Structure 1
Amino acid sequence: MKTKILILASMSFVMAGYAQKNEIKTAEKALKDGNAAAAKTALDGASGMISGADEKMQAQYYFVRGKAYADLAKKGDNAAFDEAVSSFKKVIEVEEKSGKAKYSDETRQHLGTLTADLVNSAVEDNANEKFKEAAEKLYMSYKISPKDTIYLYYAASSAVNGGHYEPALEYYEELQSLGYDGSGVTYKATNVATGEEEEMDKTQRDLMVKSGTYKDPKDDRAPSKKAEIVKNIALIYTQLGQDDKALEAYKAARANNPKDVNLILNEANLYYKMGDKDKFKELQAEAAALAPDNPDLHYNMGVINMEQGNLEEARAAYKKTLEINPGYTNAQLNLSTTYVNEGNGLIDEMNTLGNSKADIARYDELKEQKDSLFRQGADVLEEALKTNPDNQGILTQLKNIYGAMGDNENFMRVKKLLGE
């Protein structure tokens, strides 16, 4: 009786094996007919017991499954990419374990094709501003071919473009742990027949140029991306509100690139955000020393000094800004304001004085100083009007200064210029 039960069990197992083979054959036929969806359905019927099949059948099953999902992915089913990749990787895993590599070589070719399809799909996603999808596909491309770290770099860039900072941070930190540099040389030449510039390896490019089918060879050198990666890590930490980690990242970045003005400014802005205006000013000055012809740097120095009440330093910064860019309107307005603010400060003292002879003398002295300061503020704006006569901000501030001075003639003149 026991023997019969064992025979029946054995027969049942063999029949299950035949069923799996039939499902796989059905899937293969469907793929030949271009019907990947039917192939997937057939394979789903064999999936339940594939783990108990022998390694040869498992390799065949996952190979066909990988092809079915790769075809579905190519036809627009983005979710199929992951299934195709995992199936193809399973083929290699099973055959490495068994020592029989019937499908492995062809599987690697399919993975290469799948990588190209993933990258092309990611390019399309980026163009359509589907940055999350693009990043995921590029990261999957990198996982298929870890030697192509450029895909990981592009995955991080796509994630940042879409504001998906946490995955971007993971990608950048992985690049950093790999020591990714990104520098190198790309070799290009222009196709004589089409007139288009093409990229190829150096040996091929040189041969093509010698043959006369290509011309204008060019070597493009890409700089190292290490500093950019560290900078982006710091910026992401800032976006995530992790200011301490951002500062650590900036310090690491600046250790490698101490003269990178953008890094200095990003660190300065972080200190400003954290309320440390003295450190902000220190870094702005450092940046201005490295880029003395950048008017924005001197302007920012003027702003922070103005906020801190250092009017002489602010004036010097604004004047330097205007030396570099004479038409820098905000610098003109702020330079004028430094004189007005100083004059307004004198009014506070004037209002505290009494009617004694000494107080009256002091009042007249302060009024003369105030009017001189207001006049200097007005002169700055009158000079600005020579090159920017219709600027409403300049005209409005100038009108207010003349009004405060009691200069009715100029007040009315500027009011008329404003069309009031």
Structure 2
Amino acid sequence: MRKQVLILSALLMSMIVFGQKSELKTAEKAIKANDFTAAMAAINQAESLIANADQKTKAKFYYLRGKALYQNGSESADILKVGEAFNKLINFEKETKKQKYTNELGGLLNELISNVAEKASNEYSVAAQTKEPSDYLKAAKKFEQVYALSPRDTSFLDNAALVYYFGKDYETSKKLYEKLLNLNYTGITTIYVATNKEDGKDIIFDNKKAMDLQVKLGIVENPREEVKKSRREFIFKNLAQNYSALENNSKALEVITEGRTEFPESYSLLIDEANIYYKLGDNAKFKERLQEAIKLNPTDPTLYYNVGVMNMDQNKIDEAIEYFEKAIELKPDYGDAYNNIGAAIIEKANPIIEEMNKSLSDFNKYDKLQAQQFDIYKEAIPFYEKAYELNGSNISIVQTLMGLYENLDMGDKLEKIKLVYDKLKE
């Protein structure tokens, strides 16, 4: 009985091997006849039998699969699948140390990488001109294809993620950025640069040896090595922007928090965090992050302006004015800051107006309160006038000045500003 089982097993194995070889021969003939559909059908039949095949048979299977998918470089070939198949064969032969097909597919692969990378670059140049999302998506797909063909060139995956974002495909961009983080990609690279003696332009070399050779030949001069900084800070930033664009601000905040843990001094991530808190309606956190940003970048007038706005929202009028004044100190033509100082000063009149409304029957008290109100209006006028000087087309500023001039019986100025108002309304 034992002998019968062994005989049956041996017979079964010989049938599997025969099936493998038969299907592979069919695929090989179909490829030579350029019948790639038939080739893939045969390869798919063989795939279920290939797990226990020997090295030689497996290598041939991977080789034929790659060739069938490649379709002699046809435009209809699925580049992502071709890259996966070619690399599967190359990695397999590298592991088994028997490289029968690597040179052939490796040559095709390098040619394909070069062609697709060139197309990606050209299509990105077009997209950069048109700014059309559809054009960005064409370039993004090509960059992703280059990465599929050459997974070692992770920078192409980085390019694809960014260009998908430009193309407003936030979901795909998000997935690629997450993949980059999972791969612990940094983007830190050393590039070799020298200056062409003939035209004075810089040339980038693939390696130091190639650069040194050109120096010795006297073709280039001023050889140097330049190290590109880490891209991870921007990956966190761009990933968060994708989540925000997908209206998942809570997840965007998680990404920013993770990024700031890795890059605690990042001004860019800090500003993004502040903006996300603003989108979430957490004005207190928004203000806190802006104040933190001021410590990192004390010369940015916009930061002071925004903190001033938050102080106004919290009814901290004097603090708001201080921040607006600092913004103007850094940017003397900051019209919005002048406008908001005027608005902050007028806010001081609100409690006086409330008291006036309670004193309608006490004429003496009412008149004294109204005098205080008008003094405040007089204090605000120069700031509104400066805001108007800097932005004469802002109808809101013009309307405010009209109201102030009318309250203070400033007839000449009121008449002039009314003419401006009438023109703006046209």
User: Which runs of structure 2 are paired with 1:17-416 in the superposition (5 Å)?
Assistant: 21=25, 24-25=28-29, 27-28=31-32, 38-40=34-36, 43=39, 46-47=42-43, 50-51=46-47, 59-60=59-60, 63=63, 66-67=66-67, 69-70=69-70, 73=73, 75-77=74-76, 79-89=77-87, 91-92=89-90, 101-126=99-124, 127-128=126-127, 129-132=134-137, 134-193=139-198, 196-200=201-205, 201-355=207-361, 359-385=362-388, 392-416=395-419
Which runs of 5 or more residues in structure 1 are unaligned? Answer: 1-9, 31-37
> Secondary structure in 2 aligned to 1:146?
coil
Identify the residue that residue 7 of structure 1 maps to in structure 2. none
Could you tell me how far apart the structure 2 residues matched to 1:17 and 1:386 are?
86
Q: How much has 1:378 moved relative to structure 2?
A: 1.0
- Residue 261 of structure 1 aligns to which amino acid in structure 2? Y
Describe the shift of the 1:188–1:308 C-alpha distance in structure 2 as closer, same or farther (beyond 3 A): same
| In structure 1, C-alpha distance between the alignment counterparts of 2:182 and 2:44, rounded to whole Å | 40
The 8 Å contact of residues 183 and 224 in structure 1, kept in 2 or not, is answered as yes
The count of aligned residue pairs is 397
C-alpha distance in structure 1 between counterparts of 2:303 and 2:289, whole Å: 10
TM-score by length of 1: 0.80
Contact preservation (8 Å) 2:36, 2:71: no
- How far 1:141 sits from its partner (Å)? 3.5
How far residue 341 of structure 1 moved from its aligned partner, in angstroms, is: 2.8
Letter in 2 for 1:115: I
Relative to 1, partners in 2 of residues 1:282 and 1:354: Cα closer, same or farther, differing over 3 Å?
A: same
After superposition, what is the alpha-carbon deviation per residue over 1:299-332, rounded to whole angstroms, capped at 9, x for unaligned? Answer: 1112111222221111111111111112112112
Give 1:68 shift.
Answer: 5.7
Conserved? CA contact 1:50–1:58, under 8 Å: no
Q: Please report how far the alpha carbon of residue 198 of structure 1 lies from its aligned counterpart in structure 2 after TM superposition.
A: 1.9
Q: 1-side partners of 2:293 and 2:139: how far apart?
A: 36
3-state SS, counterpart of residue 204 of structure 2? strand
Verify the 8 A CA contact 1:66 1:87 in the aligned structure 2.
yes
* Unaligned segments of structure 2, at least 5 residues: 1-13, 128-133
Which amino acid in 1 is paired with 2:411? Answer: N
The answer to which of 213-222 and 343-352 deviates more is 213-222
Contact residue 31 and residue 67 of structure 2 kept, 8 A: no
| CA positional deviation for 1:409 | 2.7
**Cα shift at 1:280:** 1.0
CA distance in 1 between partners of 2:23 and 2:181 (Å): 50
- How far has the Cα of 1:65 moved from its partner? 5.5
Distance in structure 1 (CA, Å) of the matches to 2:94 and 2:297: 58
The one-letter code of the counterpart of 1:285 is: Q
Distance in structure 1 (CA, Å) of the matches to 2:209 and 2:95: 39
With structure 2 as the length reference, what TM-score do the two structures score?
A: 0.79
- Tell me the C-alpha RMSD between the 2 structures: 3.5
Q: Secondary structure at the match of 1:187?
A: strand
1:151-200 Cα distance to aligned partner (Å, 9 max, x none)? 22222212222222333233222222332221233222233446543210
- Determine the C-alpha separation between the residues in 2 that align with 1:212 and 1:335: 65
Report the more deviating stretch, 86-95 or 187-196.
Answer: 86-95
CA distance in 2, matches of 1:44, 1:282: 61
User: Could you tell me the percent identity over the aligned residues?
Assistant: 31
CA displacement at 1:336 relative to structure 2: 1.2
